Amino acid sequence: MSGRLAVIGLGPGDPRYLTAEAAGALVEADALYGYGPYLDRVPIRAHQERHPSDNREEAARAGEALRHAAAGGRVAVVSGGDPGVFAMAAAICEQIETGPDAWRALDVVVIPGITAMLAVAAQIGAPLGHDFCALSLSDNLKPWPLIERRLDAAARAGFVIALYNPVSRARPWQFGNAIERLRRELPPATPVVFGRAVGRPDERVEVTTLGAADATPAGTVAVDMATLVIVGTRETRTIVRPGLPPLVYTPRTTAEASI
C-alpha cells in the first residue's frame, strides 16, 4: 500500500494568504510534518498527527515524511511561503532521488503558495514590475564567492533583486557585504524595501535607499531572518503620498539599451 505526500505552501504568516487548494490539502492529511513555527499556524485537528522539527533539519524531515507516505500515510509537509522557493520541495526531491526505489512510485504533489517576495512587493506597490531575480544570501549551502558573482551579475543586467535569508545569528556579516557590493553597481538613490514578518502581527514594511540601507544593528533598518529585502534597479521609482505610505514600483517599460 502506498500513500500520498503533499508539500504545501502556507504563504506568509496569515491565513488570508492560503489558497483554496492548500486549505483543502491540510484537511485531507492524516500526518503533518514541518518546521515547528510553520506547523503552529495549522489549526489542530483530531486524528491528525503532528511532527514538528527544527530549522535546518530539512533532509531528515523529508526522509521521515517519505517513509511515512511509503507506509501508506496521507502525509503533508508544510512550508512557509511557497514550497518551491528556498524550501521543502527541493529537499523532498533530493531524498526521492537518492532514496529507495519505492519512493519514486509515490504520489507526490507540490501545492504552491504566496512566496515572501510577492507578499512584500504587494504591500508596497510593484517593485518586481520588471525582470527580477530571487537570491538566497545564505552561504550554508553554497560558497559566498558564488553569491557575490550573482549579486554583481543581477545588478549589472538590471534585474530587481529579492534577497531571501539576508541574515541570521550564524551569518552576521553577509547582508552588509551584499549591500556594499550592490553599491558598486547601482546608484545610492536606488530604492530598497525591507519587509519583515509580512502577514504577522508584527509586520513592518519600510522603504529606504541603497545609500542609506545600513546593515548594522544600530542602523536605520533592522534586518533579521524573517526579513525579505527587495533592491530595485536604476529605473525603480518611489511615489511619495501625503498621509499614506509611499508606493515603490519598477516600470514595465525600459528604453535602456545599454547598462
50, 171, 181, 237: residue in contact with its own copies (rule CB under 8 A): 237
**Facing residues of 34 across strands?**
52, 78
153, 170, 189, 225: residue in contact with its own copies (rule CB under 8 A): 153
Residue 192 interacts with its own copies (CB under 8 A): yes or no:
no
26, 77, 154, 226: residue in contact with its own copies (rule CB under 8 A): 154
Q: 13 or 158: whose CB is closer to its own copies? A: 158
63, 73, 158, 195: residue in contact with its own copies (rule CB under 8 A): 158
61 vs 36: CA distance, rounded Å: 11
Q: 73 or 158: whose CB is closer to its own copies? A: 158
Residue 251 interacts with its own copies (CB under 8 A): yes or no:
yes
Residue 253 interacts with its own copies (CB under 8 A): yes or no:
yes
The contact pattern for its own copies, residues 18-37, with x = CB under 8 A and - = no contact, is xxxx-xx-------------
Between the CA of residue 238 and those of 127, 156, 226, 241, what are the distances in Å? 9, 21, 24, 9
79 vs 71: CA distance, rounded Å: 22
Residue 184 interacts with its own copies (CB under 8 A): yes or no:
no
At 152, list the grid cell.
554583481
- Phi and psi at 231, nearest 5°, equal -105, 125
Contacts of its own copies in 72-101 (CB under 8 A): 82-86, 89-94, 96-97
Per-residue b or e along 235-245, where b marks 16 or more CB atoms closer than 10 Å to that residue's CB: bbbbeeeeeee
- Phi and psi at 184, nearest 5°, equal -70, -25
Residue 43 interacts with its own copies (CB under 8 A): yes or no:
no
Pseudo-torsion of CA 148, 151, 153, 155, nearest 10°?
-150
Strand arrangement of the beta sheet that strand 125-126 belongs to: 125-126, 244-249, 237-241
In angstroms, what is the minimal distance from the CB of 217 to its own copies?
26
Residue 57 interacts with its own copies (CB under 8 A): yes or no:
no
E strand or H helix that includes residue 247: strand 244-249
In angstroms, what is the minimal distance from the CB of 71 to its own copies?
19
Residue 206 interacts with its own copies (CB under 8 A): yes or no:
no
